[in-house]
Structure formats: C-alpha cells, structure tokens
Amino acid sequence: MAVSFVDQVAAFLAVGANQSGFPAQIGLSAFATSSFTQKYGSGGFELNSVTLGAPADFRFQQVFNADMRLSGTRERRCEQPPREAYDLRIGLGAPSWVDAVFTVPAQMAIQPVPGAIQLGGAGSLAQAGVTDPGPQTHKLAFQLAVTTDVVTATYQAECFVFAASDPSPVADLRRIGAVRRIVEASDRGLATLDGAANQSPYLFVQLYPTGVLAATPLSQAAVVAAFGAADVLAAFITIPNM
C-alpha cells in the first residue's frame, strides 16, 4: 500500500521531537509577521514584529462541517382551497478536513498611533487652567500624558495545516477557504488588537513535497506568491524517512 505525502506529514508531526522545529522549518514566523501586519496593523496600531513561541496541542484530521443545507420537494395540489405539500430534509454539505491543527504563542510588539494613555489612579492627569468663565458656565482644561512606547500583547495563535501530494492551487485554496469561513466567523477569532485575551489569531498553511513542481508551466515561486496573495503560507518541505 502506497504511503501518501499526507500520511508522511501526519506521522512526522505526531512525533513530539519534530514539533518544536516545525514552525522554523516552514518559515512560519516571517509569514505570521506579514499576515498579522496586514490584518491588525491599522485602526490606531502599527505592528512592529511577531515572535512565535513553542507549538503545542497538535491535533490531526480535524473535521469542519460545511454549511447546513435545506433540500426537498414541493407538491401543489389541485384542491379547493389550494394546498401545497412539502417534503424537506436538513443536512450538512460534504465536510472539510484539516490535516493538522496546533497552537503557538504569538507575542506582538505593537506601536499605538499616536500613542497610549494610562487610565486609573496611576494615570498622569493634570489640571491645565480654566477658560474664560462665562456668566454661569466655564470649561476646565486638563493635560494627559501620552506615551509612545512599544507595548506587547501575547495571544494563542491557531495554525491550520493542509497537505497535498500534487499542487492544485485553485482547488487547494477553495478547500482552505471553506474552513477559513467557518473558523473566522466564530467569536473566538481575534478581529482587532484590542480584542479579548482569550481570542485567537489564525494562520493557514499549505504543504507540498519538495521538488514536486518543474520550472514550467508553474513554478514553485509562482505557487508561493499566489497563496501569499490569499494570506496563506505555501511551503515545500522534505519529510525524512521514519
């Protein structure tokens, strides 16, 4: 029985000694910086860098159901008064499978724009005079210190890994997109950098075996660029014999 590349990836990542070096093997840290900068580097924040910690909680062959579907028939009966009979069924579309899922701490160095203020008793709020008083009302002026220091925030990123022996970029991106729509619609996903600490940013990775593509008609660099434009990391790796 032939062993597929997907089988090799699952067996390789199931070994604890191989898990710690996997993010560096596929270049996940550089991709995370690019991906998170695109997602979160706006709305008053500039993302300077992303540092990934040790991966953990590896899970394999995770199933994500497709959208719920309603199907059936309608029968119109020639009666007085007119009646219609429905025979309806509710079901799920074909499930989408993710070959591996793991978590990794992502520490983000964030530059608030134009800066950040400290609230509460430790805040440096100072009175700055009074405007010209009117007959019955006047306005107080205050000064509030704004710090431009870089702040850090750490989230548990969740990485979804897909593997395929033969590159088919369009089909593979559709497969990833089906899962992405489900997980990013959840309230567990991090939408902005001021989100809750228990929310997770997501990373999506497509793996192919090294050397599977010739230079023409489609090069490895072209596939990497196409997936990068869709905010997906495409990595070509060699799985050692086990």
Question: Mean pLDDT lowest for which of 45-54, 59-68, 111-120, 227-236?
Answer: 111-120
Lowest mean pLDDT among 115-124, 154-163, 214-223: 115-124
Task: State residue 225's pLDDT score.
Answer: 94
pTM attached to this predicted model: 0.77
Q: Looking at the 3D structure of the chain, how many domains does it have?
A: 1
Q: Is residue 143 part of a domain?
A: no
Looking at residue 119, what is its pLDDT?
A: 59
Write out pLDDT tens, residues 142-169: 666 666 667 788 999 999 999 999 889 9
Q: 3-class DSSP state for residue 223? A: helix
Q: What is the largest CA-CA distance in the chain?
A: 93
Residue 32, H or E segment: helix 28-40
% pLDDT > 70, the chain: 79
Nearest residue to 71 (alpha-carbon basis) of 85, 86, 83:
86
132 part of a folded domain: no
CB 60 within 8 A of CB 100: yes
SS3 content of the chain, % helix, strand, coil (to 5): 25, 40, 35
Better pLDDT: 194 or 101: 101
Query: CA dihedral defined by 33, 34, 40, 44, rounded to 10 degrees?
Result: 90
- Whether residue 26 is contained in a domain is answered as yes
Question: Residue 139, SS3?
Answer: coil
- DSSP strand E in 93-165: where? 96-112, 125-130, 140-144, 151-163
Q: Tell me whether residue 58 is in a domain.
A: yes
170 falls within a domain: yes
Q: Is 136 a member of any domain?
A: no
Q: Is residue 127 part of a domain?
A: no
pLDDT at 24 over 90: yes
∠ CA 22-196-109, rounded to 5°: 55
**124 pLDDT higher than 80:** no
Q: Is residue 188 part of a domain?
A: yes
Which amino acid is residue 75, in one-letter code?
A: E
Which domain range does residue 11 map to?
5-115+155-237
Least confident of 34-48, 64-78, 164-178, 213-227: 64-78
**HEC profile of 153-219:** EEEEEEEEEEECCCCCHHHHHHHHHHHHHHHHCCCCECCCCCCCCCCECEEEEEEEECCCCCCCCCC
Q: Which pLDDT band holds residue 138 (cuts at 50, 70, 90)?
A: low
